[in-house]
Structure 1
Amino acid sequence: MKERIVIAALWIFAGLVFGLLYGPAVLVVVFSFFDRRGGATDWRSFSFNHYVSLAHDDTILGALGNTIEVASASVLIATILAVGLAYYMRLDQRRGRSYVEFVIFLPFVLPAIITGISLLTAFRQLGVDRGLVTVAIGHIVIVIGIIYRMVMVRLEALETSQIEASADLGATHLQTFRLVVVPQLGSAMVTGALLAFTISFDETLVTFFLVGDEPTLPLRLWAMMRVGFSPEINALVTLVLFGTMSLAVLGAFSLRRSVVKQRAV
């Protein structure tokens, strides 16, 4: 009897936690289909008008496009650099690995305001104008540590006998990397890239110091807080939420498929 009470209490507590975490997101999705009149929600006004208005809002769509462009470019470049660097450090146990990892992880560990000011100062000293390129570089500096760590963990679990066998068969380091190592890093690369994309998409403080005349979506929303959000924002948040959930599902299926293949081998 006591065990059932404890289990029921845990289920209630878990329900409250999930309600607090996801309740606001559910409300945003619901309000994206209804109008507010006189400070109250008109439950008889169900429509897709906010989504139609969003499709014609060039300001919000432009900021969203900048955000996706920066996140995609930074994640792609960071993934290439992280995979190559992790393989180089893992190969023959290169010296100085701890120092290299310290440099990679430091921008992610430091407060974002320190990273942002440091990058801004560096770009000013180099005479580089602020813009989406500088924002992408700043995001690469932040997210490369995440991808590097996930790839390195997978590399350390990889049997060295496979690399040695490839070398014994006459393959070069590049061929071994391309044909033996990369196919087994798929799950780590996908997981790291998804997490890095989420961080880049949501990054605000570092972007604030490096952005130019083309703001990203977080900065656009930050600016709108002073005057209040328009109803189209609920529709935008709903679309971003479902897009993020779709990426998470795809990542989970990719990870599951990779695990199944490894077990089959």
Structure 2
Amino acid sequence: MHSEKASFGLKAAAWGGLVFLHFPILIIFMYAFNTEDAAFSFPPQGFTLHWFSVAFARQDVLESITLSLKIACIATLIAMVLGTLAAAALYRRDFFGKEGISLMLILPIALPGIITGIALLSAFKTLGIEPGFLTIVIGHATFCVVIVYNNVIARFRRTSHSLIEASMDLGADGWQTFRYVILPNLGSALLAGGMLAFALSFDEIIVTTFTAGHERTLPIWLLNQLTRPRDVPVTNVVAMLVMMVTMLPILGAYYLTKGGEGVAGSGK
């Protein structure tokens, strides 16, 4: 009879993997509170919140944060609408070209970001659209749609169609059925998809580099800071903020969709 508990070696390997993945992040967290303004003085000389006040007093930091939040919110809203409509159209009925459409919906998240960025930039240049705020939103929405689509179609597949039929039999029209039956069932999937899409958009840099033009989102600001070693403490503070803003929605989405791993298309 096999034990359900993992062996000591397997546990050690799992913890070792976690430490390997998260040790660089812990370093950034630690030096965000360091009293020294040197790049990395080990061990840290003390604990201070001074660099937080310095970071949030800088206009360039606040402008980059505001821009990234605006882009993430708009891209997430677009993705939630388009991803939900696409999932509703594809989850149940079979028709010619369905698999091809599904592949095209999922492809942006599978392609390397540099390929997506070059393709979007070429398309915008061909159409005579100058890179800027609008092009960043469109670029982010292309891969955010996939996240929402995967979550919503998984929930559709777990929702019994008999509920919809019962609603229609009781006299509800299409809008009432959607509002009182379908939408409540999709609630947590929509929320999880939206949170994941927001997190991905907020810290996206590769596609943004090609579509930003003169705009400077927070990840681009961080990239530019690598050439300024005297600003390392402020950079660590902003990097920690980015990690917190993206980590919390991802954790929330995980708990909202937990238990759906066995559903094809769950996007987990």
Structure 1 gap ranges (5+):
259-265
Q: CA deviation at 1:190?
A: 2.0
The whole-number CA distance in structure 2 between the counterparts of 1:250 and 1:52 is: 28
Alignment of 1:18-167 (within 5 A): 18-36=18-36, 40-41=41-42, 43-90=44-91, 92-93=93-94, 95-167=96-168
The whole-number CA distance in structure 2 between the counterparts of 1:31 and 1:104 is: 41
Q: Percent identity?
A: 32
Residues 91 and 255 from structure 1, CA distance in 2 versus in 1: closer, same or farther, beyond 3 angstroms? closer
Q: Is the 8 A contact 1:204 1:219 kept in 2?
A: yes
Secondary structure at the counterpart of residue 130 of structure 2 = coil
The whole-number CA distance in structure 2 between the counterparts of 1:226 and 1:155 is: 48
Residues 37 and 181 from structure 1, CA distance in 2 versus in 1: closer, same or farther, beyond 3 angstroms? closer
Q: Is the 8 A contact 1:36 1:42 kept in 2?
A: no
In the other structure, the counterpart of 2:17 is: 17
After superposition, the C-alpha distances for 1:122-146 in whole angstroms (9 at most, x for unaligned) are: 2222222211111011111112122
Q: CA deviation at 1:249?
A: 4.6
In the other structure, the counterpart of 1:238 is: 240
For 1:203, the aligned partner's letter is: E
After superposition, the C-alpha distances for 1:34-66 in whole angstroms (9 at most, x for unaligned) are: 133666247444211100101111112211221
For 2:233, the aligned partner's letter is: P
The whole-number CA distance in structure 1 between the counterparts of 2:250 and 2:200 is: 14
Aligned residues: 254
Q: Is the 8 A contact 2:199 2:247 kept in 1?
A: no
Q: Is the 8 A contact 1:108 1:145 kept in 2?
A: yes
Structure 1 vs Structure 2 CA RMSD: 2.6
Residues 161 and 106 from structure 1, CA distance in 2 versus in 1: closer, same or farther, beyond 3 angstroms? same
For 2:25, the aligned partner's letter is: A
Residues 87 and 94 from structure 1, CA distance in 2 versus in 1: closer, same or farther, beyond 3 angstroms? farther
In the other structure, the counterpart of 2:203 is: 202
For 1:16, the aligned partner's letter is: G
The whole-number CA distance in structure 1 between the counterparts of 2:29 and 2:36 is: 14
The whole-number CA distance in structure 2 between the counterparts of 1:11 and 1:89 is: 41
The whole-number CA distance in structure 2 between the counterparts of 1:246 and 1:206 is: 23
TM-score when scaled to structure 2?
A: 0.84
Bigger drift between 168-177 and 56-65 goes to 168-177
The whole-number CA distance in structure 2 between the counterparts of 1:77 and 1:211 is: 18
Secondary structure at the counterpart of residue 187 of structure 1 = helix
Residues 145 and 25 from structure 1, CA distance in 2 versus in 1: closer, same or farther, beyond 3 angstroms? same
Q: Is the 8 A contact 1:107 1:142 kept in 2?
A: yes
After superposition, the C-alpha distances for 1:156-191 in whole angstroms (9 at most, x for unaligned) are: 121111111122223222222222111111222122
After superposition, the C-alpha distances for 1:105-134 in whole angstroms (9 at most, x for unaligned) are: 222222222221221122222222211111
Q: CA deviation at 1:68?
A: 1.6
Residues 11 and 100 from structure 1, CA distance in 2 versus in 1: closer, same or farther, beyond 3 angstroms? closer
TM-score when scaled to structure 1?
A: 0.85
Structure 2 gap ranges (5+):
261-268
